[in-house]
Amino acid sequence: VLSIWGVTFKTLRENPNILVPFLVVGFVDTLILALVYLAPRPPLSALLAPPIRAFWGEQFLHYPFNLFLIPRLFQYGHIISTAFIGVLMTGVAILMLKEAKGSLRPCILFNLIKSLRMYLRLLVIWLVIFGLVSVVFKVVPFAFKLKQPLITLYISLFISIFIQTIFMYAMPAVMLEQKKAFSAMKRSISFSKNVFLTTLILVGIPTLFYIPLIMLQGGLAKLMSRLFPEIVLAIMGLNIIVSVITDCLVTCSTTILFLEQRKV
């Protein structure tokens, strides 16, 4: 693990443009946060106010109730942006890492075109992983019937990390080996068996960064009431920063591991 992280940081230091795909995702998420914050105000209110009024009521178009709705609206926007932008940028980053490992200068434009060609395969893989993780977070509280939300959170998070671990190499298999979606997922399961513990740590440790944020968001309404409503913007902004760093570290480290081990 330490060796892979060492190679990862060295690769990013020597090829900082590999960070661009992750920064693009962070920029899009920041834009989404700005849009949901400004949703009750003209000119955005003409487009966004009617659905907010229909689903949540008129009060959520007015201060401070509009701020209480921001985390939910941002979550919906983030899911959409990940499906369209995040998946695409992950493909670009994987190809750029391949070029960097081959002592070539990573190119964003050409790799973006290649990623676009593989987009549907990448999307299918993401939908499978997203669907499985979503089911876990819905089913675990009922399956274990635990009254302690923190224990339920930890169990759900561990299972989701396990799911990501076994499917982590599906996107690299698509981009680097031109496999179709389900063949790539099969390839990922097969590959992860040989490096399971290493991958579990590479995925798990950065993912644990989300725990404080999840806990913060769980008590966000109380925090907003005790401090000031606008604190939600700072917390959501921190969430975007952590998400960019985590995605970059997980994607780059596991891709480098895949590139190195498939040569063995």
178-184 mean pLDDT: 96
85-110 mean pLDDT: 94
- 247 with 22: CB under 8 angstroms? yes
Q: Which of 81-95, 99-113, 163-177, 204-218 has the lowest mean pLDDT?
A: 204-218
pTM, entire model: 0.91
Q: What is the mean pLDDT of the chain?
A: 91
Q: Who contacts 208 (Cβ-Cβ below 8 Å, separation ≥6)?
A: 157
Res. 263 pLDDT band, cuts 50 70 90: low
119-136 CB burial, b ≥16 within 10 A, e <16: eebbebbbebbeeebeeb
Res. 148 pLDDT band, cuts 50 70 90: low
157-183 mean pLDDT: 96
The pLDDT of residue 147 is 64
Q: Which of 98-102, 138-142, 254-258 has the lowest mean pLDDT?
A: 138-142
193-204 mean pLDDT: 95
Is residue 217's pLDDT more than 80?
no
- 106 with 16: CB under 8 angstroms? no
The pLDDT of residue 205 is 94
The amino acid sitting at 172 is: P
Is residue 216's pLDDT more than 70?
yes
Q: Name the range with the highest mean pLDDT among 100-109, 149-158, 160-169, 213-222.
A: 160-169
pLDDT in tens, 64-96: 888 889 999 999 999 999 999 999 999 999 999
Q: Which of 36-40, 193-197, 209-213 has the lowest mean pLDDT?
A: 209-213
Q: Measured between alpha carbons, how far apart are the two ends of the chain, in Å?
A: 17
218-231 mean pLDDT: 81
Is residue 161's pLDDT more than 80?
yes
Q: Who contacts 98 (Cβ-Cβ below 8 Å, separation ≥6)?
A: 175, 176, 255, 259
Phi and psi angles of residue 105, each rounded to the nearest 5 degrees, phi first: -85, 120
Res. 145 pLDDT band, cuts 50 70 90: low
The pLDDT of residue 264 is 47
Is residue 104's pLDDT more than 70?
yes
